[in-house]
Amino acid sequence: MSVVKLEECRERIRSQLDNVVDFWLKYSHDTVHGGFFTCIGRDGSVYDELKYVWLQGRQVWMYSRLYRTMERFHKPEILEAAKAGGAFLRKFARVSRTSGQWKCAFCLTRDGKAVKVQRTIFSECFYIMAMDELSRVTGDQEMQLEAEQMMEQLIHWVRVDSSGLGRPQLPGDVPANSMAVPMMLLCLVQQLTGGRGPEVVQKYKELEQWCVQQILHHIQRDGTAILENVSVDGKELPGCSGRLQNPGHALEAGWFLLQYGAERTDEKIQSTAINKFIELPYQCGWDKTHGGLFYFLDVDGHCPTQLEWNMKLWWPHCEALIAFLMAYSQTRKPELLERFLQVYEYTFSHFPDANGGEWFGYLTQEGKVALDFKGGPFKGFFHVPRCLYMCERILDDLLANEDRTL
């Protein structure tokens, strides 16, 4: 692989990251009520004033991370945006305290009134990510403590008693291990411990190992498939839910595991991450006819019941780019770089909007733009910039060592 090609990639990724940051700085800030507009149309106009909490938290995290770790984003306007978003979240996102437990809303009105609360843990996850990363920038100890307290509560819901989430216990609703939960918890452990001392690392060590084991339980069918939902003892579940594959999620879990493996030079985990969580979802998820990754598949080839199963969404492609580039940077196996470049070609020729800036998020199976907004209830300032940020950094490292092994 030529260094020139990788330098081309890095330049494009860098300029896309600048473009995407500019887009959200320009269009998403609510200077009246604070927080961020998340429903932003093709041309940058706000088409709905609702503020989705996942996306508020993710945007605070992303601004803070860029400010803290990339020199060209270490600018007052980015810090101010992160702080303003954090203040809005702290003021409005937590809506109830039943039996001493906080619950975060899923969606707020423009002025911060709760519209909807999900009976899951994800609003809280992104709240924690936001508070921890922002506190690293501002040095706000109280905020960091708040992140850890919310984390304790999350762990309680996941591992001890989920009744605080408000979901009724039903006899037919057997507990399951859904990929999203250990993945998010592993991501949070990496967030809370990264660059901190051994005491903090120790505090979350057992949880981290539990998350990794829970993720590994999703390897099913004698190691030939990653399934999205398994039983709590790691068996395949019956029906559509049990057969569901979500290639983008598996790829994301793959690079979380790669990070975990690299930190402790655990080659077994690294190789499992690549062979199972990155290679298998790519093999089953890549559309050989039209290119791109399917959103959902059924491991037995039945038609998934999700209406959007065959659409090409931006975020699985973002996760695939990070996963393959990270896998290559850890192994230097040329076939992994080839995969990266294949996903890269599809992604950059389909998702970015050269006219309006930012990326389209939702394409038909054939690659036509199906929904043309830049931000919506589930698409905000997160997967695109995180992918570009991660890839730029990995490419920086690779190219800095180019004479060695590239």
- What binding mask, one character per residue, do residues 360-389 give for a second copy by CB under 8 A, x or -? --x-xx----xxxx--xx------------
Quick one: which of 106, 162, 151 has its CA closest to 129? 151
CB of 22 closer than 8 Å to CB of 355 = no
Q: Which of 33, 41, 148, 271 binds a second copy (CB under 8 A)?
A: 41
Span from 7-15, 101-109, 197-205, 264-272 in contact with a second copy (CB under 8 A): 101-109
Min dist. Cβ of residue 308 to a second copy (A): 4
CA distances from 199 to 69, 130, 205, 231, 267 (A): 23, 22, 10, 33, 25
Query: Taking CB under 8 A as the rule, does residue 164 contact a second copy?
Result: no
Which parts of 173-232 interact with a second copy (CB under 8 A)? 173
CB of 94 closer than 8 Å to CB of 153 = no
Which parts of 102-161 interact with a second copy (CB under 8 A)? 105, 107-109, 112-117
Min dist. Cβ of residue 84 to a second copy (A): 20
Min dist. Cβ of residue 121 to a second copy (A): 17
CA 244 to chain centre: 19
Min dist. Cβ of residue 292 to a second copy (A): 15
Which parts of 306-325 interact with a second copy (CB under 8 A)? 307-311
Q: Which of 12, 25, 44, 50 binds a second copy (CB under 8 A)?
A: 50
**370 or 399: CB nearest a second copy:** 370
- Residues in binding contact with a second copy, number by CB under 8 A: 47
Which parts of 240-259 interact with a second copy (CB under 8 A)? 240
User: Contact residues for a second copy (CB under 8 A)?
Assistant: 39, 41-42, 47-50, 95-96, 105, 107-109, 112-117, 166, 168, 170-173, 238-240, 298, 302-305, 307-311, 362, 364-365, 370-373, 376-377
